[in-house]
Every structure is written in structure tokens, then in C-alpha cells.
Amino acid sequence: MDLFKKCEDYTIIDELKKAEIYPYFHYLTSGQDTVVNMEGKRTIMIGSNNYLGLTSHPEVIEAGVQALKTYGTGCSGSRFLNGTLDIHLQLEKELAEFLHKEDCVTFSTGFQSNLGIISAVAGRNDVIISDKENHASIYDGCKLSYAKLLRYAHNDMEDLERQLASVDKSKGMLIVTDGVFSMSGEICNLPEIVRLAKKYGARVMVDDAHGLGVIGEGGRGTASYYGLEDDVDLIMGTFSKSLASLGGYLVCSKQVANYVRHNSRPFIFSASITPASVACARKSLEILKREPERVENLQKLGDYVREGLTKRGVKFIDGKAPIVAIWTYSDENSFVACKKLLEKGVYVNPVISPAVPVGQSILRTSYTATHTKEQLDEAMDKIKEVLDEILTKEEA
């Protein structure tokens, strides 16, 4: 069989484009903000991860410009060899201190962070127990580790304990969970995860890509939110969301950080984070520490949206983060809703099977600390109009 036959048979994209409901790769002609210019049209952006509204902050932009002037455009090598700058070390020190951990390792992307962390700390003789709704990068990190993977039902602590109890006690065990689940905005049951980890001798890793800058004291994330910073062994996060840049990190003990630096293939064999990205992340972290009210306002806006959708009779998955997943039920409904909303000047993200079970498709909406209530009311009114138009009475 020809290797490319699968490509030739992949016709769904052409079918969606022909039906004029293809929802991906819309382009912006402006920077990320609460209102953007998308394909020449004013659009309220409620589909980005610019949680603190720092992508357009003048101090963040200026920090990137100055780093370009000082260090150039790239590092031309991996951190392991010639690609370490003093600002890489400064960013790691600042993150470790902010998140109350001994050490920090930074990676070139968030996806690469999970690949690099999980594949380094877990191996063939270990077992990883993962929430079924964890991010794709966690699954790929598990594959790269060659550890045995067990999955527990989403946020189901009884199932997690069953999986833990089934593991041979001679094996190393790592429980991995998203802190804030990126699609639904739900927060993991970290207190129970920590309790079970101690009971069965497992280590705990939290992917806090959507937790940093969003929940916890001063935006310190999920472990801080529950007061369990000392009980989580590995905390991963990204710079592409609250920190308005690109890259990722691990905070942990000095011993584990040292091991990861010398054993993580994705870390060793990748070019280091560009100078401008490092500088933007550092400045964003500085602003987060200086202006914790951004986190408070973000939480208030998330609550405002949940209250507003409830008043409008729009059904959604209830959570506590500034991510609100709105039910559309079918893939086609999601595609059509995205198209109609974009026509009305509102951008949202479709989440369809297999990312969610068949019949549980959603619109993923996410919010920024600098959104105005007027913008959110306009967006919610249009969401209500579109869903009333496309959903059947049974679904609504």
C-alpha cells in the first residue's frame, strides 16, 4: 500500500471547506488582545489564552525589543552547550522563587516541556497514572518515556485509587494531572491526589499551563490554590499563556532538576528559548508579581461570564477558571456555531470528537483580565442568538 494513501483518503477538510464551516487557521492582522482584527474584521477575542492581557503590554514589548538589541535573534544552540544566556538563568531563578520551589528548568515550548520532563523522570520500569482528559503533550511524554501508562476516569479519585492499587510496589509511580483542565476549566482534585500518592508511594506532577497567573495566591497556580505547594513534586507550566511569550518550565527539587538537565533528550537536543521570548516572560512575571489584581479581576470576569450565560439560558460546564466550555453537543453544531459567531464578530474555539466523546462537543471560550463587561455582554448576547438558532429543543 502507498504510504500516502491515508493522505489521499483524508477528505474531511475539503468537505468542511465546501460546506463553508471549516473553523481553523483564521488569521489576525493585529496583535492578540480582547478585540482583534481577524481577516479584516473587528472581532471580540474570547478564544485565546492571553489570560493576563500582557501580550500588548508596552513594558513586555519593550523588554523583547531590548533583548533583541542586546543578544540578537537567537541562541544558535542548546542549553546543554552554547545556548545558555544569563537571562535564562535569571528567569529560572525568578520562577523557582515565585513558585516556592528549589530549582527550575526551562524548555523551548510548553509541549516540549511535558515531553522532556516525563520522558526523563519515568522509564521502562515505571508506571504513569494519568487523568484521561490530560493534555496531548502529556500523552506523548508518556509514550516517549516507555513507562507503562494507566489512565483513570476524569477527576475520578476512586478510579485513581484502583489504578494505584493495581501497580506492583517495586515499580516507580508518577501521577500526572492537569491543574486546570484546558478544555473545561475544571480544577483537579489535588488534595485527594496528594493523599493517594502518599498512601501508595507515588510522586505527583501537575501540568499548570492554565493555572499559572489564573488561580492560587498571586496567580501561583493549582498547588498554591489548595495550599499544597510542598506536596507536589513536579510543576510544569508555559510562557505562552499568562506570561505572554513562548516556552515552558519545570519547578522541582534541585536533585530532580539536575537529573532532568542531563537526561532529558528534548531539553538537550533542542535550541534554547530565544532572547526576546525570555525577556518577555521575565517582564510578564514581574508584572504578575507587581499587579496581583490582574488575577483577581480575571477570576471576577470568569464568574461574570458564568452568571451571564446562566441568565441567558446557555448551558455550559461549570468550573472556577476563566475558561467556560459551552455545550453544542455535536461536531457539526460546533462548526456552524463558530462560523456564525465569527460572522457576528466573536471568535471562539470548537472542541470536537475525538478530543471529547461523540455527542459532547463544546465551544471553548476563555477570558482575559483586560476584557470589559461591555465586550463580554456583547459576546454573550451573540452566543445566545447563535445557539438558539442552531440547537434543537432537546439539546437546548
Q: Domain 5-51+292-390: state its class.
A: alpha beta
Please provide the size of the chain in residues: 396
pLDDT of 334 > 70? The answer is yes
User: Across-strand partners of 208?
Assistant: none
Give yes or no for a contact between 51 and 322, defined as CB atoms under 8 angstroms apart. yes
Percentage of the chain beyond pLDDT 90 is: 96
pLDDT digits (tens, 9 = 90+) for 31-79: 999 999 999 999 999 999 999 999 999 999 999 999 999 999 999 999 9
Per-residue pLDDT for 394 more than 50? Answer: no
Q: Average pLDDT of 277-285?
A: 98
Q: Residue with C-alpha cell 498547588? A: 223
SS3 112: helix
Model confidence pLDDT, tens digit, residues 7-40: 999 999 999 999 999 999 999 999 999 999 999 9
pLDDT at residue 356 tops 50: yes
The answer on pLDDT for 396 being more than 70 is no
- Active-site residue (options: 48, 130, 145, 182): 182
Q: How confident is the model at residue 395 (pLDDT cuts 50, 70, 90)?
A: low
Is 58-290 the same fold as 5-51+292-390? no
The residue extents of the domains of the chain are: 5-51+292-390, 58-290
Res 91: pLDDT: 98
pLDDT in tens, 264-274: 999 999 999 99
Sign of the CA dihedral running 24, 30, 33, 39: negative
- The answer on pLDDT for 160 being more than 60 is yes
Cα separation, 21 vs 325, whole angstroms:
20
pLDDT tens sequence across 76-111: 999 999 999 999 999 999 999 999 999 999 999 999
- Residue 69: count of CB within 10 angstroms of its CB: 10
**Catalytic residue (choose from 88, 101, 135, 210):** 210
Note if 88 is an active site residue: no
Write out the CATH class of domain 58-290: alpha beta
Task: With CA atoms as reference, report the closest residue to 305 among 277, 326, 336.
Answer: 326
Residue 254 reports pLDDT greater than 70: yes
- Give CA separation, 326 vs 58, 83, 183, 323, 342, in Å: 33, 43, 10, 10, 16
In the predicted structure, residue 351 carries a pLDDT above the cut 90 = yes
What's the mean pLDDT in 127-136?
96
The yes-or-no answer on residue 199 being catalytic is: no
Residue 388 CA to residue 347 CA, distance in Å, equals 18
* Angstrom distance (rounded) from CA 50 to CA 370: 10
> How does pLDDT run across 198-236, given as a tens digit for each residue?
999 999 999 999 999 999 999 999 999 999 999 999 999
Which percentage of the chain shows pLDDT scores above 70? 99
Active site residue 78: no
Digit-coded pLDDT (tens) for 163-202: 999 999 999 999 999 999 999 999 999 999 999 999 999 9
If you average pLDDT over residues 375-390, what whole number do you get? 97
Q: Which of 88, 101, 241, 371 is catalytic?
A: 241
